[in-house]
Structure 1
């Protein structure tokens, strides 16, 4: 009931449309309740009573009811559809907005395919309840109450005989609800698994082809698809187990009416017209009971879908923003790490990190894969919170900052470049939507991207495929660099952003970035010595700890880990140098 209340809470936002739809529903029911009574008059007064003068008015009344019912049905259907679509619009917006606010840790634990399943299939399950289940539930409830009153007012004994079977039908529907709910829950979960399998395969189709793993992926998808089929068949088995029994019991009510009603007509206790009208009303009463299983089906699916949707909406972000969050008018770009430790899913990643990066300084961060380099920059933008210690920006703990104010002054070029299915210009403008075409071109030139962009069919108006399909790794990285440059941030973070470009292009980008980095606090994560050698301080990480720090020359003089890495990267160059001849 809590889930249904929340769903109806969205519907109640459009209460006047919902009320209007209900009014036309009531008018439609009223006309349906009148029609059997007109049949009674037709049989008793016209056919058997010989009052032919009533024939035309009765026929016109029946025709008028039919016309009005068609009009009311159209308006009722339109209004309920209108309310359902508006509710879905609000639900999708709420869910999408909430997904934008959730922390990185949420996406670390949830698969994209499953979230897409909740955004589509589960919300559609809620729509089916609002547009079909809710009106039929209201309609059948009113029919049941109204028709019961009419039947008992016409003849109590006949009503008792024909309705005696209804408790058995209700019990059967209850059993159906009890068994079908868990079955539909399993179906929704399996559909999410199926969506995830398809989404991951399609997104990684190039890797699949490269490793000739098509057969493996097909077999994996077939396995998930078969499980989905089996769970649907199981739900169908439960449905087929109970629904025929409901049909049989409903039909038994009609047999009781014909048998006992016919005997009452033969004994003169009631008129034939009463039996005819009774039969029309009886089916209005039986139909809600017969549809009880179907209604239970729709409601069960809506509840399961609602649970999955509201589970996401109820998931709070692990990154909480204070009500009086710090939002300054000026931003310098000082960054300080004070005894920072960080655990990811209870796994220690960083230990007692201390960094002082005054505004305008450049910090280089090096270390082996998994040393914790990317975790450091994730803490600056507060994508995650520290486990111990604190990160200060302009002397204020990042946990006290207004997130939008903090991140608006940080430009990040991530290691895993993501480009949107948009134009080249649109992807660069993502960093600053208000920038001009001239500023876009200037940013592209600094990132050494302008030349290859101009070689594209439509230049800056060329549509990039999903995730940058069609571009080389170096081209994607240079567009990502331009996207960060055009933002004009006070803090610039470069997460191994030149790893996919050749040495010559890397040199050109570094020369351009030297001008860009002036006056900005810059963090450069790299594996190449050439990327960090000009930094004001270079930090070397190992197993989450700072093991060496200093300038390029100071670290070479220490002949430690940085020196060994330098020797490895420049070994071929040193061997190529001609040896001095000893005189």
Structure 2
């Protein structure tokens, strides 16, 4: 779907069209409900003008029985509208959530750098629920109310056109007031949703960091942060309810004054002999039939504003273009040899220059180590190789092909990365290892765990490979998490390996055990090792010292020591 160029209404209708069958059934039921509502005043008029005065009692009771049956049918129709309408709404919500989640998966790192997790979760949940309510109640309310209002006006016009014109004058007033309040209500609702995103973010931070909060005895501080976010939400809601209150009170006055005007003008017409009591009663019944949908639309206005605000926030993300996209002629590179090169690369992020004219090469099957102070740009180099970001100048090539000419999926299939901060998904050990290659067999998972020297420890866990590891792997030690990440890469079996401070957070004993697994993993692969400790990179084929986004020194261990520069200082 073309989210960028299509209008919001066209996009919304496109989602409804995909539920065409349910929408048609819902519409037919809504039309029948409107017809039943319009029939009651007409039947009442005939009863008072014809059946009762002419003693047509049998006909009168037959008509009443038919009318009672019509209201039984109306109840059944509302059951269908409620069940099928909500099913249609949920289907639309599910499709929107699928589209939104898929689009969010395609968005680049830069998007996630600037948006908080809790805010994005609120857009995937609360916002879309309100769109569901709009998708369900919107079509049926508009159809029922529009048909009832138009039908009532036409029938009232046949009863007395002068009195109908009086109502017709009041309608534009009602419409003008609705449009005036609509913008204020929408803005207020958008602010409510923004504040709800802040609450989600506060919750996400508080729950994820609960162990740190307890460790520092800062539970009260976290509660204060949440209370502040909650107060902002409450304030936004108050403003919204003020706007909503003004709208509802105005609508109540407009709809409430209509019967008064009808009785007043109708009374004058009766005094002048131009109107009958029965016609006035019938007309009043139609006014009630006319006012009910107007009130219903006024109540629907809140659902509309909430749904419209949610839909606008949905489109805001759907219209966000990924910063990193495959070129139209991008190729699937297949399995690469592993020759990696940075050619005069410069990189700027948010106006800050991170890398300056960096040229490096990691030959296929060889090890390139990057060392230097924190913030020098080492991790940025690995991210440019993975094409999480695009270079500002220069190029990154794989086997001589610019990464911008390779599909992202085929590029990343060829690279395995192990970072200092390993992310574990809530689930089992087996599921987390299998993340390296989702189609791997259980035997391949066990073999990967053996290579990572983790199998024996897994078998000592309560449920072996099916042991639950908790949120972010909280039930595992740091070493176990690191070895699961190593097992993932063994399973993936990529020709290129990036180790980004893979052991820097571990104690010396655990590091030695894991280093053996890493050494085994690096055999036969192009390896790019980022480290602070020289012990982990001493045997690298080439070592580059990165300082302030530039290459300060480059060579092997002996060559760099002989220079007596930065590397020599780090070594001593």
| CA offsets 1:379-425 (integer angstroms, 9 cap, x no match) | 11101111111111011000000111111111111222100001101
2:93 match: 88
1:389 to 356, 370, 394: 394
Q: Tell me if structure 1 keeps the 8 A contact 2:156–2:283.
A: yes
2:348 match: 343
Q: Does 1:123 align with 2:128?
A: yes
1:274 to 272, 276, 279: 279
Distance 1:302 1:549 in 2: 58
2:419 match: 414
Distance 2:495 2:551 in 1: 25
Q: 1:285-434 to 2 correspondence within 5 Å? A: 285-434=290-439
Q: Which runs of 5+ in 2 are unaligned?
A: 1-5
Other structure's SS at 2:370 match? strand
Other structure's SS at 2:379 match? helix
Distance 2:431 2:448 in 1: 13
Q: Does 1:139 align with 2:144?
A: yes
Distance 1:165 1:515 in 2: 83
1:546 match: 551
Q: 1:74-113 to 2 correspondence within 5 Å? A: 74-113=79-118
2:202 match: 197
Q: 1:16-27 to 2 correspondence within 5 Å? A: 16-27=21-32
1:515 match: 520
| CA offsets 1:59-99 (integer angstroms, 9 cap, x no match) | 22112211221222222333322221111111100000011
Other structure's SS at 1:62 match? helix
Q: Tell me if structure 2 keeps the 8 A contact 1:44–1:271.
A: no
| CA offsets 1:548-574 (integer angstroms, 9 cap, x no match) | 22222222232322222222xxxxxxx
1:182 match: 187
Q: Does 1:506 align with 2:511?
A: yes
1:250 match: 255
Distance 1:544 1:491 in 2: 23
1:525 match: 530
Normalising by structure 1, what TM-score? 0.93
Q: Which moved more, 1:16-25 or 1:341-350?
A: 16-25
Distance 2:570 2:314 in 1: 50
Shift of 1:357: 1.2
Q: Which moved more, 1:189-198 or 1:369-378?
A: 189-198
Q: Tell me if structure 2 keeps the 8 A contact 1:420–1:467.
A: yes
2:3 match: none
Distance 1:442 1:53 in 2: 88
Q: How many residues align?
A: 567
Q: Tell me if structure 1 keeps the 8 A contact 2:371–2:530.
A: yes
Distance 2:250 2:361 in 1: 76
What is the CA RMSD across the aligned residues, in angstroms?
A: 1.9
2:482 match: 477
Q: Does 1:449 align with 2:492?
A: no
2:539 match: 534
Distance 1:378 1:113 in 2: 25
Distance 1:208 1:120 in 2: 27
Q: Does 1:490 align with 2:484?
A: no
Shift of 1:162: 4.6
Shift of 1:349: 1.0
Shift of 1:262: 5.1
Q: Tell me if structure 1 keeps the 8 A contact 2:365–2:525.
A: yes
Shift of 1:512: 3.4
1:570 match: none
Q: Tell me if structure 2 keeps the 8 A contact 1:43–1:272.
A: no
| CA offsets 1:359-398 (integer angstroms, 9 cap, x no match) | 1001111111111111111011101111111111011000
Distance 2:527 2:50 in 1: 96
Normalising by structure 2, what TM-score? 0.95
Q: Which runs of 5+ in 1 are unaligned?
A: 568-583
Distance 1:24 1:87 in 2: 20
Other structure's SS at 1:166 match? helix
Q: Which moved more, 1:8-17 or 1:217-226?
A: 8-17
Other structure's SS at 1:165 match? helix
